[in-house]
Structure 1
Amino acid sequence: MNLLSIETMVGQLQHMSLIVLILMLVEWGILIITNYVESKKEGIVSIISYLIQSIPYFLLSKVMIVGTMFWLYEHRFFDLNFEWYVWIVGYLLYDFTVFFIHFLGHKVRVLWCIHGVHHTAEDMNLTVVARGSIFDFVFTPFNFIWLPILGFHPLMIFIIEPIARLYATYSHLSEKFMGKHYWLEKIFITPSVHRVHHAKNHIYLDRNYGETFSIWDRIFRTFQTELKDEQILYGIMHDKLDSENIWHVQFLLWKELWSDVVKAPKLLDKVKYVFMPPGWNHLDGGKKAREYRDEAWLSKQKA
């Protein structure tokens, strides 16, 4: 594969976002007609969120993201060609980076204020893919922007990234269309595996960070299969957030972080509120996802 053919492929993939949007609308329409979604307004809020978050991406992509990637490629450590195995290594490195950045999005509160927007939906369907923060542009590019320094051509990344996003779209399919596949989830993030990730059940909290492959979660012991006797409840652990309110979805987590920072008595505590995991507080350390999860497993074992 030469550079000219790759440029042609990149041009064809520019329509990927439109394809994903069409798939979202088709699935959403079917779910509404069959009365399978509890909230019809959630899909609208998700699509509005997508349009809002696309604005800074559109304004900054060529100047900051694309420009940075080509600059890094000019100063690359290695000269990599376009052999088939380079594509595989590139995809694996990209997927591991997504896993790691995703993990940080759940463990650092200021990053959770960005990533948590995606988790506010209380129905699972393809429109959830569109539910992102207006501040995603300062977070998501780290999934791939650094790869050219290793020698991966930016155009190669511009092919890998949309293909991976298309797979991530598939993983958000409603359980009405896609059930559980035990054998497939041994390697891949299936819709069932990703539904667990979107659950607010205590036993499922902060599991399954992968995008394409489940191997990273298995290696770092963050994998959790969907349990037969534990029906998934979607959303985040928040009794005041309205998943149909665009202002709540985009800004309530930020408002609460700011409130905690202001109220903290010491400078160190203020800094900790920004960088410690969600649930931390300066009074007694708070209760974080791991504690909730351990308690849920203990309760299940006793039952």
Structure 2
Amino acid sequence: MPALSPVDYAVPFFILLILIEVAWARRRAPASYEARDTLASLAMGLGSTVAGALFAGLFTVLALALYGLRVAEIGWAWWAWIACFVLDDFNYYWAHRTGHRVRWFWASHVNHHSSQHYNLSTALRQTWTGFPALSFVFRIWPVLIGFHPAMIATVGAVNLVYQFWIHTEAIRRLPRWFEAVMNTPAHHRVHHAINPQYLDRNYAGVFIVWDRMFGTFQPELDGVRIHYGIVKQLGSFNLLWTAFHEWIGIFRDVWHAPWSAKLGYMVRAPGWTHDGSRDTSDMIRARWQALQDNRGGTVAPD
């Protein structure tokens, strides 16, 4: 019988915290939960668990094969666990950033952003297609330098567990020293926002320092109402559409595009088109910034 991961142990606490937040929301923020949306998030989480179980064997075989090519033997010392956790979080940052900037990877990640609500159930709205999309390549490579696959899988699961609690509007701001180093609800609300000034910011998993280091940090601004979801909202609670709509979009675009543009619809930014008929996040941000400059630099409240 395979060992349980940290995520398996955390699931009962996830459910308990969601129930507590629902009770809080009924009194303080009733619009933060919508029954069909919550059910869709929970169903996506269940489907993601099933997909993960189906592909776990393939991932294990691949990871162990690569581990056989390792250049060093790092072992299981306490410092190795810390080093592995920090390295994995660094890798997560780049995987996450690529997941927003390359449409192929966005097709897998977009599921997580498809809710127009932001609550703890949103954290469970996970992809079904992460393995087929090859998203694991960003986090599996440390086996080549000697980190054992089981160690990488464990710290990756801990990283995922950490990210659960930051999907809430119930917690506003935390002490400045904590906000300076760690990812928090305030930072991650920005990441889930579709406000132009917030698009494609705060990719961190656990440590917000990566965003500060690589120029993608954006603080949450007082007085700015956050709008959640994706630029072109789903408009549906259909699970299959939620899970596969962007893959369908890629297929349609590649099918109809001229040969010179077909690859671009897979590897360029979401929203890119060969004829400029749609907008990327950079285009949306630039247009918003030009408007702010014309207004004298005042940030619009919405």
Shorter-chain TM-score: which interval?
A: 0.7 to 0.9
1:165-190 Cα deviation digits (max 9, x unpaired): 11111221x212x1123432211111
Task: Give the CA deviation at 1:285.
Answer: 7.6
Query: Do the aligned residues in 1 keep the contact of 2:187 with 2:218 (CA within 8 Å)?
Result: yes
Aligned pair 1:290/2:267, yes or no? no
> Residue 171 of structure 1 corresponds to which residue in structure 2?
166
Query: Do the aligned residues in 1 keep the contact of 2:254 with 2:262 (CA within 8 Å)?
Result: yes
**Which residues in structure 2 correspond to 1:52-201 (within 5 Å)?**
52-61=47-56, 63-138=57-132, 139-172=134-167, 174-176=168-170, 178-181=171-174, 182-201=176-195
Query: Do the aligned residues in 2 keep the contact of 1:205 with 1:293 (CA within 8 Å)?
Result: yes
Q: Which amino acid in the other structure matches residue 88 of structure 2?
A: Y
Query: Do the aligned residues in 1 keep the contact of 2:7 with 2:158 (CA within 8 Å)?
Result: no
1:26 to 19, 44, 49: 19
> Residue 4 of structure 1 corresponds to which residue in structure 2?
none
> Residue 204 of structure 2 corresponds to which residue in structure 1?
210
Count of aligned positions? 290
Task: Give the CA deviation at 1:110.
Answer: 1.8
User: Residues 49 and 11 from structure 1, CA distance in 2 versus in 1: closer, same or farther, beyond 3 angstroms?
Assistant: closer
Q: Which amino acid in the other structure matches residue 156 of structure 2?
A: E
> Residue 16 of structure 1 corresponds to which residue in structure 2?
9
State the identity %: 29
- TM-score after normalising by structure 1: 0.87
CA RMSD, 1 decimal: 2.3
Cα distance between partner residues in 2 of 1:227 and 1:39: 25
- TM-score after normalising by structure 2: 0.87
> Residue 5 of structure 1 corresponds to which residue in structure 2?
none
SS in 2 for 1:242: coil
Cα distance between partner residues in 1 of 2:210 and 2:259: 36
Show structure 1 runs of 5+ residues with no match.
Answer: 1-7
Q: Mean Cα displacement is larger for which, 289-298 or 88-97?
A: 289-298
User: Residues 145 and 271 from structure 1, CA distance in 2 versus in 1: closer, same or farther, beyond 3 angstroms?
Assistant: same
Task: Give the CA deviation at 1:127.
Answer: 1.1
SS in 2 for 1:144: helix
SS in 2 for 1:232: coil
Cα distance between partner residues in 1 of 2:185 and 2:236: 21
Q: Which amino acid in the other structure matches residue 198 of structure 1?
A: H
Aligned pair 1:40/2:40, yes or no? no
Show structure 2 runs of 5+ residues with no match.
Answer: none
User: Residues 36 and 65 from structure 1, CA distance in 2 versus in 1: closer, same or farther, beyond 3 angstroms?
Assistant: same
1:252 to 196, 220, 245: 245
Cα distance between partner residues in 2 of 1:224 and 1:27: 29
Cα distance between partner residues in 1 of 2:48 and 2:262: 28
Cα distance between partner residues in 1 of 2:4 and 2:228: 36
